[in-house]
Amino acid sequence: MRSKQKALFLADLARAKNADDLVILDMKKISNVTDFSIIMTASSSTRAQAISNNIEKGLLEIKDKPLSVEGYREAGWILIDAYDVVAHVFTGGLRDFYNLESLWSDAPRIKVCKKKRKKKRITSGKISKRK
């Protein structure tokens, strides 16, 4: 799996567990550490851990074990190092505090398609899903 495909795959795994404000940065021209960085926010430490678990599980399914996972227990900033892609899961105000997007403002952003949420409508006491 190519680095960009892997970054998009990890982004999908994170969004499946409700990661917010997800950004993918192409780091190839500005970093010799990784090709892509994914930055996201979780609404709680429990959600951050669920996102991290889902990313790790997805990597294992494609036989690509992460090099390391840091910050899982505290869950304020979980860093998942998958060699050519690094995922950063932030909670609370830590994302604003560290401001990685500003630090790496020269990195091009990869567009991530947002999934449409199905709206629910109430009809005669029943809830149905609207496409």
- Running DSSP on this structure, what letter comes out for residue 96? H
Q: What is the pTM of this model?
A: 0.84
Domain boundaries, the chain: 3-112
CATH of domain 3-112: 3.30.460.10
Query: SS3 for 18-74, per residue?
Result: CCEEEEEEECCCCCCCCCEEEEEEECCHHHHHHHHHHHHHHHHHCCCCCCEEECCCC
Looking at residue 112, its pLDDT comes to: 80
10-residue mean pLDDT series, the chain (131 residues):
94 97 96 96 97 97 94 96 97 94 94 61 55 52
Looking at residue 21, its pLDDT comes to: 95
Looking at residue 1, its pLDDT comes to: 76
Using alpha carbons only, give the angle 66, 37, 5 rounded to the nearest 5 degrees: 75
